[in-house]
Structure formats: structure tokens, C-alpha cells
Amino acid sequence: MDVQIEQSWKDVLQPEFDKPYFAHIVQFLKVEKQAGKVIFPPGPYIFNAFNTTPFDKVKVVILGQDPYHNPHQAHGLCFSVQDGIAPPPSLVNIFKEMEADLGITRPNHGNLQKWAEQGILLLNASLTVEMNKPMSHSKIGWHDFTNSVIQTLSDKREKLVFILWGGFAKSKLNLIDTSKHCVLTAAHPSPLSAHNGFFGCKHFSKTNEWLQQNNISPIDWSL
């Protein structure tokens, strides 16, 4: 099955693309589109996280759950929105924590492409969603795929930073070898939970401390 994904990812994930569940994902999306359903992100952006951050360039993994389900928001990078779209509440809180942690002025946009280009894999557990229907594609097989992505990174790479915000992201901890990777956990940045431990987590500075301790160039978090 030919999936339009960056070559280094295609090489390590080919076994997944050949499995029946992945054929089911492809068929499901095809049928939905033929039925006139609007799917986000648009087709060319479904694998944007992978195409922007090649496998061998990943330094940090930030895990999200579901793409944004309103028009013009999702573009295949978790928590990120396209240019011209106001940052959603969770992203506003991420920027607040970044500012408190590093003194970086909050940007006036919500496009995290610059982070992805520096080696931050902005991975949603589901890579698609139907318009106005949150979590609508969470059971079609994407979690099998993204669990494999996390496991493959853990197994085949060294000294990565995995950032897990919220209960769902923390549930992926068992896929990560904590003896060779750094795992940072906190509450979700959503307004419902950010005050329960997201604010003050200092994950931005902690990420750079780990990278520098392991002779890996730090992230420029400014946008």
C-alpha cells in the first residue's frame, strides 16, 4: 500500500502499512469521503507530523489525542492550528506555561510548524476526525498505528524526550523504555485541568536540560 509519508518513516513503519487494520483505515476514510463527510485534517496534512519531522531527526515527542474538528484548524500537528486561526484554549495555556518557564513572549498565532522542523514530533493518537464530531475516528485503527509509532521510536532511538500531558497521554507510558528516554508527565493544558499541575511543570526548560545533558542541541521554543 503506497502511503505518502516521508521515506525514513516509511522504512521503519512498513510492517504497519501492510497489516489488515491499516487497510481498514484507508478503506474507511475512502467510504466516508465518498459519502460526503468532511474529514480533518485535509488529505495532504494527515501525515504532516511525519513529513515535517523525519524519523532520524526526532528529539522530542509531544502526544495529543484527536485533531481539531472545526474548519481550518487541524493541519496534522497536535495542538497546532493553521495560520490565521486563533490559538485554542489548550494551546493558549501551553504558551502561558512556556512564557512562565522560559520568559518567551507568547506568539500571536498557533502554528507550531517551527517546533516540528526542529525535531518535535507533534503526534495525535488519531490522525483524522470527522468535522464537528470529536473522537469520531478514535476506533478505526489509528491508535494501533500511533502506538506502534511510539514503540518504534522507543525501541530504535536513544535519549528522546516524551512529553505526556493528561491521563490519555500518560496511558502510553507502557510503550516507552524509561531506562533510555526521558518521560515528562503533567496534567492536560486544557482550561479544565491546567491548574492541576500543568502550570508550573517547566517541561520546556526540562526538555532542553535533558537534551543538552546528552549532547543534543536544545529546542528554540520561540515562535
Cis bond before residue 41 (omega within 30° of 0):
yes
Residue in the block written with cell 542541541: 217
Query: CB-side exposure of 202: number of CA atoms within 13 Å?
Result: 6
Of 11, 66, 177, 220, the catalytic one is: 66
Helices (H) and strands (E) counted in the chain, each on its own, are 8, 6
The answer to whether 41 and 101 are in contact (CB under 8 A) is: no
Query: CB-side exposure of 155: number of CA atoms within 13 Å?
Result: 10
- What is the DSSP-derived secondary structure letter of residue 133? B
Judged by DSSP in three states, 166 sits in coil
The order of strands in the sheet holding 60-64 is: 120-124, 60-64, 161-165, 182-186
66 is catalytic: yes
* CA neighbor of 198 nearest in space, from 210, 207, 188, 212: 188
Active-site residue set: 66
